[in-house]
Structures are given as structure tokens and as C-alpha cells.
A and B are shown apart, each in its own frame.
Chain A
Amino acid sequence: MQNRTLIALVALALSTSACKKKQPVEYVQEGTSQLTGVVNVADPRAAVQMLRGFHELESNAWRWTASKFAVALRPPKDTSGGVKVYAEIVVADAVVDKVGLPTVTVTMDGRALPPLKIVKTGPQRVEWDVPVELLKGDVVTAEFSVDKFLAAGQVEQRELGLIVSVAGLQSSKAAAPAAK
């Protein structure tokens, strides 16, 4: 009797493990995602907000961009203290050595903000004040561009502008504590 129980238990354990092995691999993830005000280029949920000009994700953290790249952003609800559009970028020596330091411009829904001259290479944050009247809709498109870049074929097949990890909108109220 005990042997039978033992055999039954072993059979049950084996069949359970066999069943586990047959679990299909999930290749799809459902769930809800929402438009955000900040696009982390490594976040697959935000990838849909990278409208154009982004190359492949590298080191699971950043992407090279072309000379122009655009993101769709959700404006913050509270714009009373002013809003900044910003990007966390790396100005690569490999680019600057060949073409010089670039000037970055941003166009928000077609309206250009003042150009920003980059003065050093390496990681940095670039930001602009955004007129609040541009932030009245549910989505705003920020198109960044650089005047100096590596053309496709100059070093590699891709056109290379900046290295970007994050681009987004930030209300100045939210940014204030961080500035301290």
C-alpha cells in the first residue's frame, strides 16, 4: 500500500513537472500604458512616443539619433510655474572631432524655441522654457535637431547626431526641489 502511495506521488510529481515544461512561452505582454511626459529611450512602453530619428537601443540605456529626432510628450497638468522641455544627451567626441560642436534647436508643435549652442562634449542636460500656450493639448511633439552631425556613410551607414537617454517635459515646480 505504502509502495503504491509512493509510486502515485512520484507519478504525480513527474506529471506535474511535465505539465510545467509544456507551459507556453509568453511572447506578448498586454496591459495598459499611457502617454507620458518623459520618454526614457530604453523603456519599451515609451518606444511608441519616439516618433522618428532614433536608432537602435544600445547598452540597454541610450540611443544614437539622426540629425533630427522627435518625441511625442504628454504636457504636465500643472503648467502654472512654467514648463521646460529637456533632453539628457551625450555629445560624442567622435562626432565633435570631425564636425565640431553642434547647436541644438527644438521645435514644439512646429514652433521653434531659441537655439542652444553646445559648449562641451560629454554627458549633459539641455533644456528650454516652453511657452505654456503650446501645452494646451493632450500631446505635444518636440522635434530636436542639430546642425552638425555625421552624415550617413561618413563613419558608418547611419546618420549620427546625439546620444540620448531621456527626453521630456518637466514643470518648473517639480524641477525646483531638485535644483536645490
Chain B
Amino acid sequence: MTARWAAFAAAAAACLALYWPGLVTWFSMDDFAWLGLRLSIFNGHDFFSALFSPKAQGTVRPISERLYFLGLEWLFGLDPLPFRIVAFSTQILNLWLLIRLAERVTGSVAAGFAAALLWLANSALGQAMSWSSAYNQLLWPAFMLGGLHCRWTYLESGERRALLREWLLFVLGFGVLELQVVYPMLAGALTVLYRKERWRSVIPMFVAAAVYAAMNRGMAKPQANPMYLLHWDASIFQTFAHYVHMSMGVWRPGGEAAVEPWQNWLQLAAAIPAAAALALGLWKRDRWVLFGIAWFVAALLPVLPLRDHVSDYYLTVPVAGLALAIGAVAARNPLLAALPAAMYLASSGYAARIVVNYNSDRAEGGRILVEGVKQASARNPGKIILLTAVGSDLYWTVMNDEVFRLIPGIEVYLAPGAEDNIQKNPELGDPARHVLAAPVALATLKQDRAVVYSAAGPKLLNVTAIWKEMAVRRWETALAPVVDVAQPLLAAQIGAGWHTIEGTFRWSTGSAKVRLGGKPGAREIHVSAFRPIDGDHRANVELELWVKGRRIGAWPATRGESLKISAAVPTDLDVSVPLEVEVRVNPPLIEFGAGGRELGLVFGTIGLR
């Protein structure tokens, strides 16, 4: 009893000692998308949709992502500490479950303790221990280990209620991570290795996993990101080899330059005895070693077809299996294992800490930006905040995920030109969507309705005066390539045929013109419009688009529906110079009553992209 608690306390202490910066790490990247989930909820249907609608890559993780972020954000707002406390508590629970499982099956607390330390020190845990969006990688093993405890109880005692508890955890586990489909393999391995005669109890789980897998694939949208394409070919073996190599905690494909030479030597020196321990276990047909290897392989199987997305993130759970296997052999041969284990702990633990420190530092930059914008907004109430000198890292880890929508009452944009120092990353997004059009930015500055802050230093620096001086010179005569026809500051680009602005839109007449600024490289003209229902009794309405006197195309406008038109720019049209665009609505509508206006459609934006 004492040894068990001492082992657990030591493992928990090691977890805190190694990963403590992750306990106070701020949010980054996907976190902001999840934190914004609440903003899409207005009723019960929205809440259901927020919990269960498939997100990127068809994932549905209501427990580990949706509830985790919705609940904690609702309770604590933009404070990362509760998120991190929950993550650390879950990992400490995992350590307890791991130690106890090893002890229950092998009878050795030392085997459990060794497994816990080996798993903990693996650098694959670095992401999960310092990034809230990776919480699923910590919660999933809790459900797996909990299920395996139930299964072991069933295997030992035949208690049916244990099987029911296992089923409950198994089914709930699908709400944590879709990789839960591999759980039946683990339960099956434990059963076949220790109580072969009870193998039939696992079959229904395989059926349930197959049904879930089919449903999950059915829900997944066609993959647009090539990184997540599945490759069902011989590359699976190479990917597996990569993961085996990575499981020592140091080597990463393409990341060789970031590794210290001493880490490589320690990795090699530790890998040989580790491989020997596994070989010894296999040779002796050690069931626990076989189970650990089965865990490693099974947990990796679903990600092996992802040839172009080999990530240490995916190793978080599989390496626990190797830790169980090697830990048991090490516990039986402590003197032989001490030195290689120490070398592994040093090299991989160091790499883990590097990952945590990197994530922590990067997130800190985001915290400074967000807190700085809040302070800047408080000092300049009602004014637009324009950000310049936002580095690539800062943009892609903070701004790209719409962080500022989480702060009510502020309006933040990139200053025109700020996107030119941000590295392009088309698969993640386009910084241009956060840029305030130059003519608008300049007009708001002249009217003292905006301030400009530089994000280049350790604090946000007010550079309004210097930026304005340069902007006047660069953009005084510039035209915006995208025109929001309801934006009063762009009125100079609005031509004939428009009625006055009504809130966030503007009615056209039967023919209306706008002038767009040139945009080199633009390939499409896009138009957003709407045909209201009330009072519109026209039969068939058509919207024609004309550019520089050339008809680009025509589209039907249906009552009550929005139009989002994207028309290819003719190849011989020079889009680097200003263009005149005309929208024609056939037939127009004459408003009821004396002096009724001629109405075309309601328009939003017209622009090049």
C-alpha cells in the first residue's frame, strides 16, 4: 500500500516538475476556435450542434473538446489556468491508473512506476501537456485505462457489472477521441493473453467500433487539406518506422537540426537496451510485454495512413504501451536498466521540456498581444485598433483563429501592408481577410477614429503618428480592391445607381456601379447580394455582372436567398489597375407607393480576390 502511494506521489511530482510551465501556458491556435464556440450558441439546437456537429477532418469530440472548452470558458472566461489544471489532473489520474493496472496484472508496483516514468518523460507528451486543444490526448488514455481496469476485474472475477462499466467507458470514449475504435484490440489483447476462454466478450466491442468507424467516415467531408489525405500503400510501413524511431523521444522527421548531439548519443545508448528488453520479453513470451507492444501498434494503426502528417502528437498514447512493456522488464532488472533509463529520461525529458517551453513562450506572445489590445482599447474607447508589425508566428498562432471576437466591444484589424511581413500559409488561411482596406484605414485615422499599435516589441507600441505619416504617402490615392457598399468610408468608390445606406447594406437600382482598386494576381470577382421576400413580387430575377463594359455572367436571384457569386476574371483583363464594375438587376422592382424607388437587389460586398 505504502509503496503504491509512494510510486504514485513520485510520478505525480515528476509530472509537475517536468511540465510545470505547461500549467501556466496561455492559449494558442485552435484554442481560440474552441473558445469561440459559445458565440455560436443561441438556443438548444445551437448547443446540440456545437456539441456534435463534425469539425475539421470530420472529428466529433464532444467531451474532450466541446464540453471541455465550452464549460471552462463559460465558468472562467479567457483564463487558461483552469484548463491547464484540468489537463494536469487528468494526466495525474492517468499515472495512477497506469501504475495500478501494471500492479494488478503483473503484481509489481515497480513495473507500474517504471512505466509511468518512461511514459511521462517521452517528449511526445510535450504538446498535450502545454496545449489545451490537445487535451483529448490526455483524456483518451484515462478512458482506455479505466476500461482496461474494468476488463481486468471481469477477467479476474467474471463480474458482469465490470463489463457494463467497461462498455460505458468504451462508448463514452468515442466522445473523447475517434481513435477509441482501437480499444477493442487492447481489451482483446488483454483477454487473449490472460483469459483466453473469455474472448467472446470482446466481439460486440469490435462490432460497435466498426459501426462507429463507418459512421465517422460517413460524416467526414471530402478532405481538402492534402496533409490529411490517407495513403493506403507501402508508405504505411515507412510511417510506422518513423513512429518507432520517434518513440525514443528525440528524433523527429526533418527536425534533426534542433537536436543536441548529446541527445542523439543518449538516445542511441538507451534505444539498444530498450530494444533488447522488448526482444527478451518477446522471446520469453512475456504476456505483459506482448500486451504493451500490442497497445503501441493498435493505438498507432489509425494514423499510419497519414503519410504526410507524421506528428509526435499522435504518439502520446501509443508510447504508454511501450512504457508498460519496457517498464516491466526494467523493474525486473533494475541494476541493468538504471543507466539506460537515466539516459532516456535525460534525452527525451529534455526534448519534452523544450516542446513545453516553446509552446509556453509562443503562447505568451499571444497573451501579450491580446491583453495589450484590451488595454489599448480601454485607453482609446470606441476607436478601431490597427495592428502592424505582427510577426508570422504571432499571426498564425493567435490572430488567424479570430481571437479578438472573444473580446466584446473591440474592433481590431491588421493595418494595411502588415500582411506583407506575414509568411504565406494558404492551407491555414489568408491574413488579408483581417486587413482593413487602406482607404478606410486612412480615413478613420484622419478622423481620429483609429489608433495603430506595433506588435514587434515586448509591449504593444503606439505608432499611430509614424504609421499615419507613411500611410498618407502610400495610400492617399489608393482604392480598395474590395468594397463594402454599406461602408460610408468607401463612399468615394461608389458610383451611380445606389440608394442610401440602410444599416449594413445598400439597395441598388436596376443598374449600379462601383470602382475597385487594382489587385495584382486576383483571379475572381466576388459579389454578395440578397433578394428579400417582403414586397418583392417579381417572377424571375437575374443579376448580371459587367466589368469594364464586358459582360462576365448572369445568375438567378431567388426570393429570400443570399447570392455569393465568384466569377473568374477574364485572363486578358488587367486587374492591377482600378476597374469599374457594374451590377444589373433584371427586372428591377418599383417600390409601392407614390414616388416609389426603383430597386434591384440588396448588396454587401463587391471585390477582387
Contacts and interface: CB of A to CB of B under 8 A. Distances in A.
Interface string B452-473: 1110111111110111011001
A53 B460 CA distance: 21
B431 to A, nearest CB: 12
A57 interface: yes
A26 B466 contact: no
Given A27-B372, A47-B454, A137 B459 contact: no
B511 to A, nearest CB: 38
B420 interface: yes
B592 to A, nearest CB: 53
Given A28-B372, A52-B421, A53-B421, A138 B469 contact: yes
Contacts of A51: 417, 420-421
A137 B421 contact: no
Contact of A28 (B376, B392, B452, B466): B376
Given A31-B462, A48-B463, A51-B417, 19 more contacts: A26-B375, A26-B459, A28-B462, A29-B460, A32-B465, A35-B466, A44-B454, A45-B454, A45-B461, A45-B463, A47-B388, A47-B454, A47-B456, A48-B389, A52-B420, A57-B391, A138-B469, A139-B469, A139-B473
B386 to A, nearest CB: 11
Interface of A: 25-35, 44-45, 47-57, 72, 137-139, 152, 157-158
Contact of B420 (A31, A48, A53): A53
A149 to B, nearest CB: 15
Contacts of A55: 392, 421, 423
Contacts of B473: 137-139
7 contacts: A26-B375, A26-B459, A28-B462, A32-B465, A44-B454, A48-B452, A51-B420
B423 A48 contact: no
A29 B457 CA distance: 10
B470 A35 contact: yes
A56 B469 contact: no
Contacts of A26: 375, 459
Interface string B375-389: 110010000000011
B460 A28 contact: yes
A134 to B, nearest CB: 14
B402 interface: no
Contacts of B371: 25, 27
Interface of B: 368, 371-372, 374-376, 379, 388-389, 391-393, 417, 420-421, 423-424, 452-454, 456-463, 465-467, 469-470, 473
B243 to A, nearest CB: 23
B469 A27 contact: no
B303 to A, nearest CB: 23
A56 B393 contact: yes
Contacts of A35: 466, 469-470
Nearest 5 CB-CB pairs, A to B? Answer: A44-B457, A47-B456, A52-B420, A47-B389, A27-B372
B466 A56 contact: no
Contacts of B420: 51-53
Nearest to B372: A27
A14 B423 CA distance: 50
Contacts of A48: 388-389, 452, 454, 456, 463, 466-467, 470
A143 to B, nearest CB: 11
Contacts of A53: 420-421
B417 A52 contact: yes
A47 B462 CA distance: 12
A152 B580 CA distance: 36
Nearest to B424: A152
A109 to B, nearest CB: 10
Given A44-B461, A45-B461, A48-B388, A27 B466 contact: no
Most chain B CB atoms below 10 A, which of A33, A34, A35, A49: A33
Contacts of A72: 470
A30 B379 contact: yes
Contacts of A32: 465
Contacts of B469: 35, 138-139
